[in-house]
Amino acid sequence: MVIKDDKAGRKASAGSKKHADTNSQNETASKENLHTLIAKQTLEDIEKLSENLRFAAVTGSKIGSSIAGMTKDYFEKHPKMDPLGLAPYTAEVTSKIASKPEQILDAQQKLWNGYAEIWTDMVKNGFNDNPVEDKRFNSPEWQSNIMFDMLRRTYLHTSNWLLDLVNSVDDVDDLTKRKASFFTQQMANAFSPANFLLTNPVALKEMYLSQGESVVRGMTNMLSDFQRGNGQLSLSQTDLDAFQLGKNIAITPGKVVYRGKLFELIQYIPTTEKVYDIPLLIFPPWINKYYVLDLREDNSMIKWLVSKGFTVFVVSWVNPTAELAEYGFEEYVDHGIREAIDAVQSLVKTKKVNCVGYCIGGTLLATAAAYMAQTGDERINSVTFFASQQDFIESGDLKIFTDDAAYKFIADEIDYGGGVLDAKVMTDTFNYLRSNDLIWSFVINNYLMGKTPKPFDLLFWNSDQTRMPKALHLFYLDKFYRNNDFAEGRLSIHGKKLDLKNVKFPVYMQASKEDHIAPYRSIFRGAKLFGGEVRMILAGSGHIAGVVNHPDANKYQHWLPKQNGDFPDSVDDWFNSLNEHKGSWWNDWNVWLGAHSGKKVKARNPGDNGNKIICDAPGTYVLMK
């Protein structure tokens, strides 16, 4: 028996009690509203708060010095304040509004009527404690204080009014309106009261609860992000140290069985005794890394496909350097699509290959398929497209970055990068398309609240972007987004004009209902270009979650056509003819793909028939920064 010192025991007990009392006090304080919390501040609390705010100010001065020291060269190379040319479009829309006095008067009346309704309601009923749909303001703190409630409500009314005013202009072209609307939306999002410490009651409450430590942590987080971005803000969206490729992300067992200049080819180890005879070759977008299809075990599409008896190959694109600056679409057709098909055929001794193309990888695959049809190459048995466009007339929000000013900005950025577009440019572009979710929510969490981002596999992947070679990217922007040459029959590869009507093999097209990058209306236009059987389905959610939706998750829904092909003339007629089903669309695809994959044969392993194994999946190209 061990007898403890009574004095030590009493001391330990007192310490535990003090810790428990502190936790209890913090828990009680966290339930109080901001006004009550401020009123209870003691002199000691205020002194501690002041000391932490002083320290935060010192950190802020370091941020200023860091920015000044590291961005001088950047701003010398990027002197324009409006590199995307948004201002002229906004000015044109503003002038159109100003030219219609009756419209201005009507708009002003709506603005003031809205304010009057808010103020009248607040005088009669006090603050509004009803739940709000906008998640920026769903904390009770926004409704429990009448000042912040008024600030929230007037901001939402003003920003909605301004966007409605811009979108109501009907005598400008579509691009002008979209760019003006985008600029207005970004300004409205940026000036949300939730984004500033003094107008965010949740952040203020955290400041008082932590006696200013949240502000110190926030400034430290911001300094780290500026330093990581070499003078530009590189916003942390997740814990970048929480994931390791091949360990807890990109986890499906496989081998790199081929390596070319543009890609590594991964063959996955089968988990069934029998597999379909025709192998499946996946081409992800080269703008991202392939492992969005192989994140965790419970959401990996690749692992699921292997479990269904498919021999799965995936192209892992190289992260290009200046050495590949002059590699364009023709090179990616030859040394990407066609070379990968050659490799799969050689490895499994098959005459036919089923292919998948995701997003821009699907655009390249469709281009290659049209070229192969022109040359009599019939090795593709079927193609599945995920969120992939062939016709760009009704393409998504990225189109606002393809006019002359934006095109020149991107070309200049590529020259500045030595022949490749820096990955950060594309990351920032995609983030601004959903700025409240992908920018401002993290500004609030990381800097105002002083919290560390949580580990999130999808956001880790989202931050792991790749560079773009000059010839490839500019060709893509010009020929597809700007001029729609592919859909309109003007695109040539190796001197052969392409026409998707010559593509006769079966096609499965997936679109997502809320996709803002590849809208289903745009994908519908592309589906009508093919010359063979096409099955087009609609998934719930957006560009990523609409694709990566494991059936076991029981999330979202999907809509299926009554039969393949024979599309209605209009996308609205097609949409209205769909039948809704719960959960993931993968099971429907599995049935379709199985029907186009031949008989079952003995499972094939990497290295069979003396084939060379280069290394374990996920390979080396995916690790390139």
From the list 59, 53, 62, the residue with the least C-alpha distance to 197 is 53
Q: Evaluate whether 433 touches 397 at the Cβ level (below 8 Å).
A: yes
Q: Collect all residues with Cβ–Cβ distance below 8 Å to 80 and sequence separation of at least 6.
A: 409
- Write out the two tokens for 566: 């024979």
Exposure on the CB side of residue 420, measured as CA atoms within 13 A: 18
**CA 532 to chain CA centroid, nearest Å:** 32
The neighbour count for residue 580, using CB atoms within 10 Å, is 10
How far, CA to CA in Å, does 145 sit from each of 204, 275, 297, 441, 461? 13, 63, 45, 22, 39
How far, CA to CA in Å, does 309 sit from each of 267, 356, 383, 590? 13, 16, 18, 10
Q: Which residues participate in catalysis according to the annotation?
A: 359
The full DSSP string for 65-128 is HHHHHHHHHHHHH---S-TT-HHHHHHHHHHHHHT-HHHHHHHHHHHHHHHHHHHHHHHHH-S-
Rounded CA gap, 586 and 550, in Å?
Answer: 7
How far, CA to CA in Å, does 506 sit from each of 359, 395, 530, 534, 561? 18, 24, 9, 6, 15
Q: Collect all residues with Cβ–Cβ distance below 8 Å to 392 and sequence separation of at least 6.
A: 399, 480, 481, 484, 486, 487, 522
Q: Evaluate whether 316 touches 305 at the Cβ level (below 8 Å).
A: no
Rounded CA gap, 287 and 423, in Å?
Answer: 8
Exposure on the CB side of residue 199, measured as CA atoms within 13 A: 15
Rounded CA gap, 160 and 188, in Å?
Answer: 9
Q: What is the DSSP letter of 249?
A: B
- Write out the two tokens for 156: 């939402």
Q: Evaluate whether 284 touches 292 at the Cβ level (below 8 Å).
A: yes
From the list 137, 158, 160, 133, the residue with the least C-alpha distance to 149 is 137
Peptide bond into 320 cis (omega under 30): no
Give the angle subtended at the CA of 241 by the CAs of 235 and 244, to the nearest 5°.
120
Residue 602: Cβ-neighbour burial (10 angstroms; 0-12, 13-18, 19+): exposed
